[in-house]
Amino acid sequence: RARVLKAECYEVFNPKMRSEAVRQFQLEAELRRAIERQEFVLYYQPIIALQTRQLAGFEALVRWQHPQRGLISPAEFIGPAEETGLIVPLGLWILRQACQQMYDWHQAFPQLGPLIISVNLSPRQFNQSDLTQQVAQVLADCHLESCSLKLELTESTAMENVSSTIEQLLKLKALNLKLSLDDFGTGYSSLSYLHHFPTDTLKVDRSFVNRMVETQGDSDIVGTIIALGHKLGMDVIAEGVETEEQCVQLQTFGCQYGQGYLFSKPLPAHTAAAFIAQQVTQLS
């Protein structure tokens, strides 16, 4: 009898699943260590005003500078960090780092209009009850004006529990910072709630922008999202702009901002500073 049970157990926990569990466990331990050893680094991707081609701000994007494996993309570790709750201390570090950096750039380049720094919030971070207090603390510590900070929340996260989302967004908005709905068009949006969100910006998801020149349907979706955003009083940023053709089409739709490889990849801090410096010389 016992032998039979044992055999069944082996059936259930097959070696593949076991190795997956081990891998997850190792990743979690490594993430913990990485936070302690400060192995994370922020990259900054320019956000450009399409009409003037001027720099409007940056989105902070985290990478893991792994001592053996090199630069690891957030796609690999944000999910596990979210599941284990490690995203909370990591997210706070990201916010602080990004705000400090933007304060330094404001000091170094006073000629430019106030650039805005956008920071992504994961679902777990967003659902913390003391998030607003934490953000307020970071802004105060970094001496950054709150209107220079924009927090990005994906449409899917925002729609998980609409009434608590609205409550949380209103608390954040009371700090006078900016709010953005990220990856818009990919979640199950409820349009009837959208106008209750105190959000300043919609970011059209990269997947639509990517196909908009080839596919009429995607072009229609992009045009509709832009019109919708404007109707609700929001600015619109197109993600993943890679070609001049996309840029032209976006402008005919009246889209104000773009972000993508056409303008720049995400840059390490010193290269981003050089990007700003170049803008300054173009202006003068």
- The DSSP secondary structure of 42-100, one letter per residue, reads EEEEEEEETTTTEEEEEEEEEEEEETTTEEE-HHHHHHHHHHHTTHHHHHHHHHHHHHH
Closest distance of CB 114 from ligand C2E, Å: 21
What minimum distance in Å lies between the beta carbon of 284 and ligand C2E? 28
What does 13 bind: Mg ion, ligand C2E, none (CB cut-off 5 to 8 Å by kind)?
Answer: none
Q: Look at residue 155 and give the partner it binds from ligand C2E, Mg ion, none, a contact being a CB closer than 5 to 8 Å depending on partner kind.
A: none
Q: Which residues bind Mg ion (CB under 5 A)?
A: 120, 152, 182-183, 239
CB of 234 vs ligand C2E, minimal distance in Å: 17
Which lies closer to ligand C2E via its Cβ, residue 37 or residue 195?
A: 37
Least distance between ligand C2E and beta carbon 151 (Å): 10
- Give the span between the Cα atoms of 219 and 203, in whole angstroms: 15
* Binding partner of 75, given Mg ion, ligand C2E, none, CB within 5-8 angstroms per partner class: ligand C2E
Residues lying near ligand C2E in the complex (CB under 6 A): 45, 60-62, 73-75, 78, 91, 94, 120-122, 152, 182-183, 206, 239-242, 259-261, 266
Q: Residue 94 binds which one of Mg ion, ligand C2E, none, with CB within 5 to 8 A depending on kind?
A: ligand C2E
Closest to ligand C2E by CB, 8 or 83: 83
242 contact choice in ligand C2E, Mg ion, none (CB below 5 to 8 Å, kind-dependent): ligand C2E
Q: Residue 6 or residue 234: which is nearer to Mg ion going by CB?
A: 234
86 or 182: whose CB is closer to Mg ion? 182
Minimum CB separation from ligand C2E for residue 266, in Å? 5
Of these partners, ligand C2E, Mg ion, none, which one is at the site of residue 80 (CB under 5 to 8 Å by kind)? none
| Cα 186 to Cα 189: distance, rounded to the nearest angstrom | 8
The CB-of-201 to Mg ion minimum distance in angstroms stands at 11
